[in-house]
Amino acid sequence: MPLLRLGVDARSRVGFLWAMGQADDVTVRRVTVRSDGRPFGALVVGQHGPTDPGAMCPVVAFGHGFAQDAGRYLSILTGLAARGYVVVAPDSETRLWPSHARLADDLWRAIEWARSSSPHADPAACAVAGHSMGAGAALLAAQRHTDIDTVVTFAAARTRPSSVAAAAAIRADALFVVGSLDRIVRPETTRTMYAAKPTPATFVTITGGYHCGFLDSAACRGLGCDSGDLTRDAQLAITRQLLGDWLDSRLRGRPLPPWPDHVVVESR
DSSP class of residue 170? -
Work out the number of other CB atoms within 10 angstroms of the CB of residue 13. Answer: 18
Burial of 49 (0-12, 13-18, 19+ CB in 10 A): exposed
pLDDT surpassing 60 at residue 212: yes
Residues 214-236: pLDDT tens digits?
Answer: 999 876 666 679 999 999 999 99
The pLDDT of residue 76: 98
With contact defined as beta carbons under 8 Å apart, do 190 and 173 qualify? no
Residue that wins the pLDDT comparison between 59 and 3 = 59
Percent of the chain with pLDDT over 70: 87
pLDDT at 20 over 80: no
Model pLDDT, residue 247? 98
Distance CA 206, CA 223 (A): 23
Q: Cα separations (Å) of 9 from 50, 132, 138, 221?
A: 29, 22, 27, 11
Question: What local confidence, expressed as pLDDT, does residue 37 receive?
Answer: 74
CA 199 to chain centre: 22
pLDDT surpassing 60 at residue 132 = yes
CA dist 79 to 22, 26, 45, 197, 199, Å?
A: 6, 9, 10, 28, 28
Mean pLDDT for 95-117 is 95
Cis ω before 119 (30° cut-off from 0) = no
Structural domains in the chain, sorted by start: 8-267 (3.40.50.1820)
- What is the C-alpha separation between 222 and 213, in angstroms, rounded? 11
> Helix (H, G, I), strand (E, B), or coil: what is residue 39?
coil
Distance CA 238, CA 236 (A): 5
Q: What is the arithmetic mean of pLDDT over 157-181?
A: 98
pLDDT confidence bin for 110, thresholds 50/70/90: very high
Summary mean pLDDT of the chain: 90
Model confidence over 134-163: pLDDT tens digits?
999 999 999 999 999 999 999 999 999 999
